[in-house]
Structure 1
Amino acid sequence: MSATAVPEGFGELRLGGDFVKANGPLYESFEGDAYRLGFRVEKRHCNTMRICHGGMMATFCDMLLPITAIRSVETLGERFLPTVSLDIDYLAPAPLGSWVQGQAQVLRSTRSLVFAQGLVTADGEPVARVSGVFKIGAAFAPPRAGGDGG
Protein backbone atom coordinates (compact mmCIF):
# COMPACT_ATOMS: atom_id res chain seq x y z
CA MET A 1 0.00 0.00 0.00
CA SER A 2 1.37 3.43 -0.92
CA ALA A 3 2.14 6.10 1.67
CA THR A 4 -0.95 8.05 0.57
CA ALA A 5 -3.42 5.19 0.03
CA VAL A 6 -6.55 4.88 2.10
CA PRO A 7 -7.34 1.31 3.17
CA GLU A 8 -10.15 -0.48 1.39
CA GLY A 9 -13.54 0.05 2.99
CA PHE A 10 -12.88 3.62 4.13
CA GLY A 11 -14.71 6.62 2.66
CA GLU A 12 -14.22 10.32 3.33
CA LEU A 13 -15.99 11.63 6.45
CA ARG A 14 -18.73 14.14 5.67
CA LEU A 15 -19.05 15.66 9.17
CA GLY A 16 -17.03 18.25 11.03
CA GLY A 17 -17.12 21.47 9.06
CA ASP A 18 -14.23 23.67 8.00
CA PHE A 19 -11.90 22.84 10.91
CA VAL A 20 -11.90 19.15 10.06
CA LYS A 21 -11.59 19.94 6.34
CA ALA A 22 -8.48 22.04 7.06
CA ASN A 23 -6.91 19.36 9.27
CA GLY A 24 -8.18 16.23 7.53
CA PRO A 25 -9.25 14.56 5.52
CA LEU A 26 -10.60 11.94 7.88
CA TYR A 27 -12.04 8.67 6.64
CA GLU A 28 -14.65 6.35 8.11
CA SER A 29 -15.48 2.69 7.78
CA PHE A 30 -18.40 0.54 8.86
CA GLU A 31 -17.89 -3.19 9.19
CA GLY A 32 -20.91 -4.83 10.77
CA ASP A 33 -21.48 -2.92 14.00
CA ALA A 34 -17.87 -1.71 14.11
CA TYR A 35 -17.21 1.93 13.26
CA ARG A 36 -13.65 3.08 12.55
CA LEU A 37 -12.19 6.51 11.83
CA GLY A 38 -8.79 7.06 10.25
CA PHE A 39 -6.32 9.36 8.48
CA ARG A 40 -2.94 9.19 6.80
CA VAL A 41 -0.21 11.18 8.63
CA GLU A 42 0.96 13.88 6.22
CA LYS A 43 3.88 16.29 6.62
CA ARG A 44 1.49 19.05 7.68
CA HIS A 45 0.30 16.88 10.60
CA CYS A 46 3.84 16.41 11.94
CA ASN A 47 6.13 18.07 14.45
CA THR A 48 9.82 18.69 13.76
CA MET A 49 10.59 15.02 14.49
CA ARG A 50 8.35 13.90 11.57
CA ILE A 51 5.80 12.28 13.85
CA CYS A 52 2.14 13.17 14.21
CA HIS A 53 1.82 16.27 16.38
CA GLY A 54 0.02 15.70 19.68
CA GLY A 55 -2.45 18.42 18.76
CA MET A 56 -3.43 16.57 15.59
CA MET A 57 -3.78 13.34 17.54
CA ALA A 58 -5.96 15.15 20.10
CA THR A 59 -8.12 16.56 17.29
CA PHE A 60 -8.50 13.08 15.84
CA CYS A 61 -9.46 11.62 19.24
CA ASP A 62 -11.92 14.48 19.82
CA MET A 63 -13.63 13.47 16.58
CA LEU A 64 -13.40 9.69 17.07
CA LEU A 65 -15.40 9.47 20.28
CA PRO A 66 -18.43 11.67 19.51
CA ILE A 67 -18.71 10.49 15.90
CA THR A 68 -18.65 6.89 17.11
CA ALA A 69 -21.52 7.82 19.46
CA ILE A 70 -23.45 9.52 16.65
CA ARG A 71 -22.94 6.52 14.37
CA SER A 72 -23.75 3.85 16.97
CA VAL A 73 -26.47 5.28 19.27
CA GLU A 74 -29.61 5.84 17.21
CA THR A 75 -31.01 8.64 19.41
CA LEU A 76 -27.78 10.66 18.98
CA GLY A 77 -27.71 10.50 15.17
CA GLU A 78 -28.61 14.16 14.66
CA ARG A 79 -27.25 15.74 17.85
CA PHE A 80 -24.18 17.91 18.36
CA LEU A 81 -21.90 16.45 21.08
CA PRO A 82 -19.58 19.17 22.43
CA THR A 83 -16.67 17.94 24.54
CA VAL A 84 -16.92 18.21 28.33
CA SER A 85 -13.65 16.37 28.99
CA LEU A 86 -11.10 14.47 26.95
CA ASP A 87 -8.28 12.36 28.40
CA ILE A 88 -5.54 11.05 26.13
CA ASP A 89 -2.65 8.76 26.95
CA TYR A 90 -0.03 9.00 24.20
CA LEU A 91 1.44 5.50 24.00
CA ALA A 92 3.83 5.73 21.03
CA PRO A 93 4.60 7.97 18.04
CA ALA A 94 2.67 7.87 14.77
CA PRO A 95 5.32 8.54 12.11
CA LEU A 96 4.93 10.44 8.86
CA GLY A 97 3.12 8.27 6.31
CA SER A 98 1.50 5.94 8.83
CA TRP A 99 -2.19 5.05 8.71
CA VAL A 100 -3.81 6.16 11.97
CA GLN A 101 -7.05 4.44 12.85
CA GLY A 102 -9.30 4.51 15.88
CA GLN A 103 -12.15 2.47 17.20
CA ALA A 104 -14.26 3.47 20.17
CA GLN A 105 -17.22 2.40 22.23
CA VAL A 106 -19.96 4.24 24.06
CA LEU A 107 -19.83 3.21 27.71
CA ARG A 108 -22.98 5.01 28.78
CA SER A 109 -25.45 7.51 27.41
CA THR A 110 -27.73 9.46 29.76
CA ARG A 111 -30.33 12.14 28.99
CA SER A 112 -27.59 14.78 28.88
CA LEU A 113 -24.16 13.11 28.62
CA VAL A 114 -22.28 10.48 26.64
CA PHE A 115 -19.28 8.60 28.08
CA ALA A 116 -16.95 6.91 25.58
CA GLN A 117 -13.49 5.37 25.27
CA GLY A 118 -11.28 4.28 22.40
CA LEU A 119 -7.95 3.03 21.17
CA VAL A 120 -5.95 4.57 18.31
CA THR A 121 -3.34 2.66 16.32
CA ALA A 122 -0.74 3.66 13.71
CA ASP A 123 -0.05 0.90 11.20
CA GLY A 124 -1.59 -1.52 13.68
CA GLU A 125 0.46 -0.48 16.74
CA PRO A 126 -1.31 1.25 19.68
CA VAL A 127 -0.44 4.98 19.83
CA ALA A 128 -3.18 6.52 21.99
CA ARG A 129 -5.79 5.56 24.53
CA VAL A 130 -8.63 8.05 24.88
CA SER A 131 -11.72 8.59 27.01
CA GLY A 132 -14.18 11.43 27.05
CA VAL A 133 -17.45 12.90 28.21
CA PHE A 134 -19.71 14.75 25.77
CA LYS A 135 -22.78 16.93 26.32
CA ILE A 136 -25.82 15.96 24.29
CA GLY A 137 -26.44 19.24 22.52
CA ALA A 138 -28.74 20.70 19.93
CA ALA A 139 -29.89 18.88 16.84
CA PHE A 140 -28.05 19.59 13.61
CA ALA A 141 -29.06 19.02 10.02
CA PRO A 142 -27.82 15.67 8.72
CA PRO A 143 -25.19 16.02 5.97
CA ARG A 144 -26.46 16.23 2.42
CA ALA A 145 -24.82 14.16 -0.27
CA GLY A 146 -21.90 16.26 -1.50
CA GLY A 147 -22.49 18.89 1.22
CA ASP A 148 -20.06 20.06 3.90
CA GLY A 149 -21.83 18.22 6.69
CA GLY A 150 -20.84 20.47 9.36
Structure 2
Amino acid sequence: MPPLVAPDDDSAPAGFTPRVLRGPFFGGRTVFTGNAGHTDHFTFRITGDDCNRLGITHGGVIATLADIFIVGFIAAQLPSDTRMVTASLSVDYLGPSTAGDWLVGRIHAHRIGRRQCVASGEFRVGDRTIALIKASCAILSDA
Protein backbone atom coordinates (compact mmCIF):
# COMPACT_ATOMS: atom_id res chain seq x y z
CA MET A 1 0.00 0.00 0.00
CA PRO A 2 1.39 3.45 -0.92
CA PRO A 3 2.22 5.80 1.97
CA LEU A 4 -0.46 8.16 3.23
CA VAL A 5 -0.28 11.77 2.11
CA ALA A 6 -1.63 14.65 4.19
CA PRO A 7 -5.13 15.41 2.85
CA ASP A 8 -4.69 19.17 2.95
CA ASP A 9 -1.17 19.34 1.53
CA ASP A 10 -0.94 22.91 0.26
CA SER A 11 2.12 22.38 -1.91
CA ALA A 12 0.08 22.68 -5.11
CA PRO A 13 1.67 22.60 -8.53
CA ALA A 14 2.76 25.98 -9.88
CA GLY A 15 -0.09 28.12 -11.18
CA PHE A 16 -2.81 26.67 -8.92
CA THR A 17 -4.55 28.32 -5.97
CA PRO A 18 -6.28 26.49 -3.07
CA ARG A 19 -10.04 26.24 -2.53
CA VAL A 20 -11.59 24.21 0.30
CA LEU A 21 -14.38 21.83 -0.74
CA ARG A 22 -17.70 21.78 1.11
CA GLY A 23 -20.17 18.94 1.46
CA PRO A 24 -20.44 15.46 2.93
CA PHE A 25 -17.87 13.61 0.80
CA PHE A 26 -14.80 15.82 0.61
CA GLY A 27 -15.75 18.58 3.06
CA GLY A 28 -12.62 20.27 4.33
CA ARG A 29 -10.36 18.78 1.63
CA THR A 30 -8.49 21.18 -0.59
CA VAL A 31 -8.85 21.34 -4.35
CA PHE A 32 -6.76 23.69 -6.41
CA THR A 33 -7.97 25.78 -9.35
CA GLY A 34 -5.86 26.73 -12.35
CA ASN A 35 -4.25 30.02 -13.24
CA ALA A 36 -6.38 33.17 -12.95
CA GLY A 37 -9.24 31.23 -11.32
CA HIS A 38 -10.20 29.20 -14.41
CA THR A 39 -13.14 27.02 -13.39
CA ASP A 40 -12.29 24.46 -16.04
CA HIS A 41 -8.96 23.39 -14.56
CA PHE A 42 -8.70 21.63 -11.20
CA THR A 43 -6.17 19.53 -9.34
CA PHE A 44 -6.67 17.31 -6.31
CA ARG A 45 -4.06 15.37 -4.29
CA ILE A 46 -4.93 11.69 -3.91
CA THR A 47 -4.44 10.30 -0.38
CA GLY A 48 -4.29 6.79 1.03
CA ASP A 49 -7.90 7.22 2.21
CA ASP A 50 -8.93 7.61 -1.44
CA CYS A 51 -7.41 4.24 -2.40
CA ASN A 52 -8.82 0.72 -2.35
CA ARG A 53 -7.11 -2.39 -0.97
CA LEU A 54 -5.09 -2.66 -4.20
CA GLY A 55 -3.51 0.72 -3.47
CA ILE A 56 -5.14 2.50 -6.41
CA THR A 57 -7.69 5.31 -6.31
CA HIS A 58 -11.18 3.89 -5.77
CA GLY A 59 -13.47 4.28 -8.79
CA GLY A 60 -16.12 5.86 -6.57
CA VAL A 61 -13.68 8.63 -5.64
CA ILE A 62 -13.01 9.33 -9.32
CA ALA A 63 -16.77 9.37 -10.08
CA THR A 64 -17.52 11.67 -7.13
CA LEU A 65 -14.77 14.08 -8.15
CA ALA A 66 -16.10 14.03 -11.73
CA ASP A 67 -19.54 15.00 -10.44
CA ILE A 68 -18.15 17.75 -8.19
CA PHE A 69 -15.88 19.21 -10.88
CA ILE A 70 -18.37 19.11 -13.77
CA VAL A 71 -21.28 20.50 -11.75
CA GLY A 72 -19.00 23.21 -10.31
CA PHE A 73 -17.83 24.12 -13.80
CA ILE A 74 -21.41 24.36 -15.09
CA ALA A 75 -22.62 26.28 -12.01
CA ALA A 76 -19.91 28.91 -12.52
CA GLN A 77 -21.43 29.72 -15.93
CA LEU A 78 -25.00 30.17 -14.66
CA PRO A 79 -26.71 32.74 -12.42
CA SER A 80 -25.84 32.08 -8.77
CA ASP A 81 -29.46 31.26 -7.82
CA THR A 82 -29.77 28.47 -10.44
CA ARG A 83 -30.76 25.11 -8.96
CA MET A 84 -29.71 21.97 -10.78
CA VAL A 85 -29.14 18.26 -10.30
CA THR A 86 -26.91 15.75 -12.04
CA ALA A 87 -29.06 13.88 -14.57
CA SER A 88 -26.35 11.64 -16.01
CA LEU A 89 -22.74 10.82 -15.18
CA SER A 90 -20.33 8.53 -17.00
CA VAL A 91 -16.71 7.64 -16.34
CA ASP A 92 -14.40 5.63 -18.57
CA TYR A 93 -11.51 4.42 -16.42
CA LEU A 94 -8.33 4.27 -18.51
CA GLY A 95 -5.60 3.82 -15.90
CA PRO A 96 -4.81 3.94 -12.19
CA SER A 97 -3.72 6.69 -9.84
CA THR A 98 -2.26 6.21 -6.37
CA ALA A 99 -1.71 8.11 -3.12
CA GLY A 100 0.45 11.16 -3.67
CA ASP A 101 -0.62 11.66 -7.28
CA TRP A 102 -1.95 15.03 -8.40
CA LEU A 103 -5.18 14.36 -10.29
CA VAL A 104 -5.71 17.17 -12.83
CA GLY A 105 -9.18 17.70 -14.30
CA ARG A 106 -10.01 19.67 -17.42
CA ILE A 107 -13.67 20.28 -18.21
CA HIS A 108 -15.28 21.53 -21.44
CA ALA A 109 -18.90 22.66 -21.92
CA HIS A 110 -20.87 21.24 -24.82
CA ARG A 111 -24.20 22.86 -24.00
CA ILE A 112 -25.26 25.42 -21.42
CA GLY A 113 -29.00 25.68 -21.90
CA ARG A 114 -32.10 26.83 -20.01
CA ARG A 115 -33.11 23.28 -19.03
CA GLN A 116 -30.07 21.12 -19.62
CA CYS A 117 -26.30 21.50 -19.50
CA VAL A 118 -23.72 19.00 -20.75
CA ALA A 119 -19.97 18.97 -20.16
CA SER A 120 -17.14 16.48 -20.43
CA GLY A 121 -13.47 16.27 -19.75
CA GLU A 122 -10.63 14.17 -18.52
CA PHE A 123 -8.59 13.41 -15.44
CA ARG A 124 -4.84 13.16 -15.92
CA VAL A 125 -1.88 12.24 -13.75
CA GLY A 126 1.23 13.69 -15.34
CA ASP A 127 1.08 12.86 -19.03
CA ARG A 128 -1.34 9.93 -18.57
CA THR A 129 -5.11 10.22 -19.05
CA ILE A 130 -6.64 8.07 -16.31
CA ALA A 131 -10.35 8.79 -16.89
CA LEU A 132 -12.72 10.33 -19.41
CA ILE A 133 -15.72 11.97 -17.73
CA LYS A 134 -19.08 13.31 -18.93
CA ALA A 135 -22.17 14.63 -17.16
CA SER A 136 -25.44 16.33 -17.89
CA CYS A 137 -27.33 18.49 -15.43
CA ALA A 138 -31.03 19.28 -15.36
CA ILE A 139 -32.00 22.84 -14.45
CA LEU A 140 -34.80 22.83 -11.88
CA SER A 141 -37.67 25.24 -12.42
CA ASP A 142 -39.24 27.23 -9.61
CA ALA A 143 -42.69 25.81 -10.36
Give CA-to-partner distance per residue, 1:18-46, whole Å, 9 cap, x none.
Answer: 43316x33222244866211211100000
Q: Mark the CA change 1:110 to 1:81 in structure 2 (over 3 Å): closer, same or farther.
A: same
1:13 to 19, 24, 29: 19
Count of matched residue positions in the alignment of Structure 1 and Structure 2: 134
Helix, strand or coil for the counterpart of 2:96?
coil
TM-score, structure 1 normalization: 0.76
2:99 to 96, 116, 130: 96
**Post-superposition shift, 1:7?**
1.2
Question: CA-atom RMSD, angstroms?
Answer: 2.4
CA distance in 1, matches of 2:84, 2:42: 17
CA distance in 2, matches of 1:67, 1:27: 13
Match of 2:42 in 1: 37
The question of 1:26 aligning with 2:26 is answered no
**Runs of 4+ deviating beyond 6 Å:** none
The question of whether the paired residues in 1 share the 8 Å contact of 2:111 and 2:117 is answered with yes
Structure with the higher fraction of residues in helix conformation: 1
The question of whether the paired residues in 2 share the 8 Å contact of 1:81 and 1:134 is answered with yes
Question: Which amino acid counterpart does residue 7 of structure 1 have in structure 2?
Answer: P
Q: Mark the CA change 1:115 to 1:101 in structure 2 (over 3 Å): closer, same or farther.
A: same
CA distance in 2, matches of 1:108, 1:6: 31
1:105 to 108, 118, 121: 108
Moved more, 29-38 or 87-96: 29-38
Unaligned ranges ≥5, structure 1: 140-150
Q: Mark the CA change 1:36 to 1:54 in structure 2 (over 3 Å): closer, same or farther.
A: same
Greater relative contact order, per chain length (Cα 8 Å cut-off, separation 6+): 1
Question: Which amino acid counterpart does residue 19 of structure 2 have in structure 1?
Answer: L
The question of whether the paired residues in 1 share the 8 Å contact of 2:85 and 2:137 is answered with yes
Question: Which amino acid counterpart does residue 67 of structure 1 have in structure 2?
Answer: G
The question of whether the paired residues in 2 share the 8 Å contact of 1:39 and 1:99 is answered with yes
